[in-house]
Amino acid sequence: MPKRGDQSWPLWPIVPIYPYGQRRTLRREIIPGKLWLLEQVQGIFYVVVPIRMTVIKLAAGGLLVFSPVAPTPECVRLVRELEAEHGEVKYVILPTVTGVEHKYFAGPFAQKFKRSQVYVAPNQWSFPLDLPLSWLGFPAQRTHILPLSPSQTPFYDEFDYAVVGPIELSVKPYTEVVFFHRQTRSLLALDTILSISQEPPEVVSQDPFPLAFHARDSALEPLADTPANRLKGWARIVLFALYFQPSVLVVPQTKRVLQNALKANNRTKKNYFGLYPFQWQDNWHQSFENLRAEGRLRVAPILQTLIFNRGANAVLAWVDQIAQWDFQQVIPAHFSAPVAATPAEFSRAFDFLRQPNSQSWSGFNHDFPIADLQTLGRLDRQLQGNLLPTSSPDSAH
């Protein structure tokens, strides 16, 4: 059993998302003595998905940490245990500029491992004020920008990497870095790629309440933790997480939501006082199966519709660079990991950019139903509106 306060994360108000100030950490050894995953969960309105960091043992001893999670006492202890056997944390990598849910952990994590050198993706920025990295918690004397050439880093003998971006968005540019560890033949990614499992990941199942919450068809149903409800709740969570508002979801009238809340048998604060503003169509599970696509590598709908379509040629050049590496597994920061995959399978996930009209969210030759992309399409049009005053339609991409 964890000690009292072991899972405490006091900086949660900076990004106030579930599970707020208490975060469990699950450590999994993927390759004995060489590669570990440390996972937590995060979400909004119980739409919880895994968030993970990868730890790799260096050939000369010591550890490289890719995309830190919240450095709770439990998380730090689990890393210290690895340090005791394999050497201290030498390098901490932040591979993104836009992933706030990743970015705000990296500085505090590096502060816990004071002998580590920190490398961050280029083109860093903060919002609403563009502040120096040292003001965001990064140790000033130990933080470096990843050079464009990986050969200029002290870990190039074991790792290669490729940078996508900057892709200009309406506010600030998007940049992400994918790493390749030669010895374990592992591709380390963040948000660019994912694979969806049929069953909820182990770290999500540690607290089944969100799964039971979303498994219901109305507020009047009891919260029941059963194997069937875990599968059902996870499928609906995936639809929420990747589509925001899937077409198979109907939002009932406010009057009905309030009436059902008054009749609910669980009106606790944890259960949002009985409020459950969701109603699912009968064919909702088919939408999940279409999205899951038997677990093959996918690019998330939000990246397809709002980001990568704005820099298709640059993204495809980046994909071609990655496809030259001889990896056999991919480790994304969210959903399933590790995923057995070849460079060709990784490349195929970006076929939507190789089609005509790929710069338009509705022009993709993807297998996401257009109806499920309506919410993202509205966001895309809003972003386009923000871009148009300062650039032409062609130059915006």
Instruction: Please give the mean pLDDT across all residues of the chain.
Output: 87
State the Cα–Cα distance between residues 233 and 214, nearest whole angstrom. 5
State the Cα–Cα distance between residues 207 and 22, nearest whole angstrom. 12
Span 11-41, pLDDT tens digits = 999 889 999 999 999 999 999 999 999 999 9
CB–CB of 397/359 below 8 Å?
yes
State the Cα–Cα distance between residues 246 and 59, nearest whole angstrom. 46
Q: Name which of 196, 8, 177, 155 is nearest 94 in CA terms.
A: 177
Residue 387: pLDDT band by 50, 70, 90 thresholds?
Answer: very low
Residue 179: pLDDT band by 50, 70, 90 thresholds?
Answer: very high
Residue 135: other Cβ atoms inside 10 A: 11
Phi and psi for 107 in degrees, rounded to 5? -60, -55
pLDDT at position 371 is 65
Residue type, 23: R
Distance of CA 346 to the CA centre of its chain: 17
* Mean pLDDT computed over 296-308: 88
Phi and psi for 285 in degrees, rounded to 5? -70, -30
pLDDT at position 245 is 79
State the Cα–Cα distance between residues 356 and 2, nearest whole angstrom. 54
Span 222-266, pLDDT tens digits = 999 999 999 999 999 999 999 887 888 888 788 888 988 888 888
Phi and psi for 189 in degrees, rounded to 5? -120, 170
pLDDT at position 390 is 33
Tokens of 350: 């970006």
State the Cα–Cα distance between residues 346 and 349, nearest whole angstrom. 5
State the Cα–Cα distance between residues 252 and 232, nearest whole angstrom. 20
Residue 297: other Cβ atoms inside 10 A: 22
Q: In a 10 Å sphere around its CB, with 0-12 CB exposed, 13-18 middle and 19+ buried, how is residue 270 labelled? A: exposed
pLDDT at position 357 is 60
- The percentage of residues in the chain with a pLDDT greater than 70, rounded to a whole number, is 85
* Mean pLDDT computed over 273-291: 89
DSSP class of residue 249 equals: E
Coil, helix or strand for 281?
coil
Angle (CA) 220-226-228 rounded to 5° is 90
pLDDT at position 140 is 85
pLDDT at position 267 is 87
If phi > 0 it is left, if psi is from -120 to 50 it is alpha, else beta; for residue 46 that is: left
Cis peptide before 95 (omega within 30 of 0): no
Cα torsion 97, 296, 41, 188 to 10°: value is: -40
Is the pLDDT at 359 greater than 70, yes or no? no
Q: With residue 44 as reference, give the H or E element that holds it.
A: strand 35-44
pLDDT at position 271 is 86
CATH topology of domain 12-195+302-348: Metallo-beta-lactamase; Chain A (3.60.15)
Kindly report, as residue ranges, where domains of CATH 3.60.15.10 are found in the chain.
Answer: 12-195+302-348
CB–CB of 280/217 below 8 Å?
yes
Q: Name which of 308, 310, 328, 329 is nearest 319 in CA terms.
A: 308
Is the pLDDT at 134 greater than 70, yes or no? no
Tokens of 192: 């660019």
